[in-house]
Amino acid sequence: MKLTSEKIIVVVGRMIDALGSLMFLKLLAISITKADMGSYLLASSLLAVVLTASFSAFDQGLLRNIADYSKHTILPRRYSAMVTAYALLALTLGVIVSLIMTMGSLGNSLHTVLIPWVFWLACDAIKNLNLTVASGLRSRTLIAIATGVDYTSRILILSLLALYTSPSPTMIIGLLAVSSLAASSVYLLGQRDLVARFSWTDIRITLHDSLTFCWPMIIWGLFGWLQNMSNRWLLDYFTDLSVVAEYGVLVSIASFPVTALLGVIVTYIVPILYERENKHQGSSLDAVVKVAVYCIPAFSMLVLAAGWWHKELVSLLSAAEYAVHSHMLPWIVASASFSAICSILIYAIYAQRRISSLLLANTLPGIFSLAFGYGAVQEYQLDGAILTLILGHLVAGSMFIITYLRARSASGISGTASRGLHER
């Protein structure tokens, strides 16, 4: 694969993201107690479920439509409309979720952080929207700069807080909201040409366009969250916040390199994949297989590194007290890598606008994780949560393969025909 300036910028941006995340986790691990870490991890998982079941789905719909909006010179109106819509929707959802959390006994440890959490939700939603638009326009340098500002802000603020006090979960969530706001400011400055006057009709049409494409994502967003985050809440229910912290830190360390590598691939290939599919229907089916095969050696290296230096990695990237279960790190990395490689295949289905066919693949792993995890965590606590996570990744990866093969069979395009299409 030819190395171009665009690829280099994508890699740099993702390296900033991965290194920034690791540095922030390290600072948290040495600056706060395990109980406070557990509270923060629960708050971040609550943010994830709201983002995944709503904003992330709309982001994917917008990303798919950016090329059409640009072609018809209506992107500025659509972009400005979505920023406003996201702000209003985030505040509304934030208030609703906060009221639900305070009315029940669920997540008692989060009751004191709900106000800054709503602010964090709004800032993060708008930041991700800006990232989506920049990705669709292939503004790689802007993405790298904004990501750098995001992590620099949060690391500097946390470092200053740690010098004078022991940061509380409320402070941590507040600084994350500020860092997201700083990144959004960079995006807005870099994309200021897209700021334009709009009407409520623009908001309605843009949301409708995204919803037409992404409605299955809203359905399966909750199930994706169950696969990745439900173990935190089960551990909180059956054990305590310190165990939540041990599990969350270990999984975060295992997920960072896999997510970073997958992010480089997806950030680069998705806009190109969509453009090519628009020109040559079916061309994405072979393209994603080639990308997935190219990725196998890189992910294998991650697994080997986790196997050789698991204890050193966990101690280095967090703190020594989190390394008790480090021997499980390579197994988590291996299962996550399998799921990540397989997930590349389904971007051909996104490109073909047939995402309703992904519904089962994106719901079954979540159902499995909740059903199996409830008994496993109750019986084996932390070990049960890790086992559930590993099996959930294997189920997800297998479903991605099955879904891709079905889509390929339904398309009626053979590998030879697809290659011929490329040649023409």
Q: pLDDT for 360-391, tens place per residue? A: 888 999 999 999 999 999 999 999 999 999 99
In this model, does residue 64 exceed pLDDT 50? Answer: yes
Compute the average pLDDT of residues 411-418: 51
Q: pLDDT for 124-159, tens place per residue? A: 999 999 998 888 887 888 888 999 999 999 999 999
pTM of the model: 0.82
Nearest residue to 174 via CA among 184, 187, 186, 161: 161
d(CA 42, CA 45) in angstroms, rounded, equals 5
Q: How many CB atoms lie within 10 A of CB 71?
A: 10
- pLDDT above 70 as % of the chain: 93
pLDDT at position 52 is 83
In this model, does residue 416 exceed pLDDT 90? Answer: no
pLDDT at position 383 is 95
Query: Is pLDDT larger for residue 280 or for residue 29?
Result: 29
Q: Kindly list the distances between the CA atom of residue 349 and the CA atoms of 122, 185, 402, in Å, as whole numbers in the listed order.
A: 30, 33, 12
Compute the average pLDDT of residues 237-260: 91
In this model, does residue 72 exceed pLDDT 50? Answer: yes
Nearest residue to 21 via CA among 218, 260, 310: 260
The one-letter code for the residue type at 421 is: L
Compute the average pLDDT of residues 99-112: 74
